[in-house]
């Protein structure tokens, strides 16, 4: 007996009674097509390498607890991490850079790209301009405004193309490390992964701590492995050694 099928035939589970999901074709055009083209271009035209690291969150939680006790606005972990990333970039100008036409440009200002998911599994990474001038207390409103503009389709070309370093956050997932793709012509992108509890060494032997994962993808044409690793080391040390009063001057008192 000759078995024939049509191009859209699906293997039907035997005896499960489960309905089949209808075939759905999604053309790569419009914004989706543009994103696909840029991702392929990124991988084909750059020498991408990714370093991974983890940092303990005990100091950040202590800072947030202090804010609660003092009646201050309690910053989110995301905003704390973004503030610390921007501060760390000041010591690593090679990562706050772009590479075009065989010319590396190290930027004085940090125009921080924030990966923002959109409906239909689309993604943009517009720039939060001059992020180094934003206090921890100012970050939430600035980030919220940028997100709302992205979701409303009101981003301009300058916002979509002006970032000098990007952060992609999967912190609400179980993905501890991943491999973010460069947003060319930027030479680096930092992925923030999910949190997990682990046993870590201490003076008393071992203790349990919440760790967060970081993944730094960089263009090896512009940045070598050692300075990229030094950036991750410095970021993790800044996170783990942060004094609980580090941002007192940047946070207002909660009126509630």
Q: Residue 141, class by beta-carbon neighbours within 10 Å (0-12 exposed, 13-18 middle, 19+ buried)? A: exposed
How much is the pLDDT for 5? 47
Mean pLDDT score, 16-37: 84
Q: What is the pLDDT of residue 241?
A: 97
Q: Inter-axis angle of helices 58-70 and 77-89, to 10 degrees?
A: 120
Rounded alpha-carbon distances, angstroms, from residue 81 to 72, 165, 204: 18, 14, 29
Question: What's the pLDDT band for 1 if we cut at 50, 70, 90?
Answer: very low
Predicted pLDDT at 14: 56
Residues 212/55, Cβ–Cβ less than 8 Å: yes
**Does residue 6 carry a pLDDT above 50?**
no
Is it the case that residue 216 has pLDDT exceeding 80? Answer: yes
In angstroms, the CA 126 to CA 66 distance is 32
- To which H or E segment does residue 123 belong? strand 122-124
> pLDDT, tens digit, for every residue of 58-97?
999 999 999 999 999 999 999 999 999 999 999 999 999 9
86 vs 133: CA distance, rounded Å:
10
Judge whether residue 194 has pLDDT over 60: yes
Helix (H, G, I), strand (E, B) or coil at 78: helix
DSSP string, 30-42: HHHHHHHHHHHHH
Encode pLDDT of 122-171 as tens digits.
Answer: 899 999 999 999 999 999 999 999 999 999 999 999 999 999 999 999 98
Domains within the chain, CATH numbers bracketed: 47-247 (3.30.559.10)
Q: When comparing pLDDT for 48 and 119, which is higher?
A: 48
CA distances from 21 to 5, 6, 8, 11, 14 (A): 18, 16, 12, 11, 15
């Amino acid at each position: 007996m000759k078995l024939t099928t049509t191009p859209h035939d699906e293997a039907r589970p035997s005896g499960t009674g489960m309905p089949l999901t209808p075939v759905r074709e999604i053309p790569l055009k419009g914004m989706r097509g543009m994103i696909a083209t840029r991702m392929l271009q990124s991988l084909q035209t750059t020498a991408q390498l990714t370093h991974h690291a983890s940092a303990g969150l005990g100091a950040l939680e202590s800072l947030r607890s202090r804010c609660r006790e003092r009646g201050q606005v309690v910053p989110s972990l995301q905003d704390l991490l973004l503030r610390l990333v921007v501060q760390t970039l000041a010591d690593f100008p090679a990562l706050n850079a772009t590479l075009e036409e065989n010319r590396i440009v190290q930027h004085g200002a940090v125009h921080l790209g924030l990966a923002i998911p959109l409906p239909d599994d689309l993604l943009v990474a517009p720039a939060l301009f001059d992020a180094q001038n934003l206090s921890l207390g100012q970050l939430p409103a600035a980030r919220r405004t940028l997100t709302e503009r992205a979701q409303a389709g009101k981003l301009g070309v300058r916002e979509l193309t002006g970032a000098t370093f990007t952060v992609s956050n999967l912190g609400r997932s179980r993905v501890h490390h991943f491999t973010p793709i460069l947003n060319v012509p930027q030479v680096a992108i930092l992925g923030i992964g999910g949190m997990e509890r682990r046993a870590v060494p201490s003076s008393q032997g071992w203790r349990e701590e919440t760790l967060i994962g970081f993944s730094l993808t960089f263009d090896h044409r512009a940045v070598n492995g050692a300075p990229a690793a030094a950036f991750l080391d410095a970021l993790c040390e800044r996170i783990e050694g942060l004094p609980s009063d580090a941002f007192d001057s940047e946070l207002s008192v909660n009126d509630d």
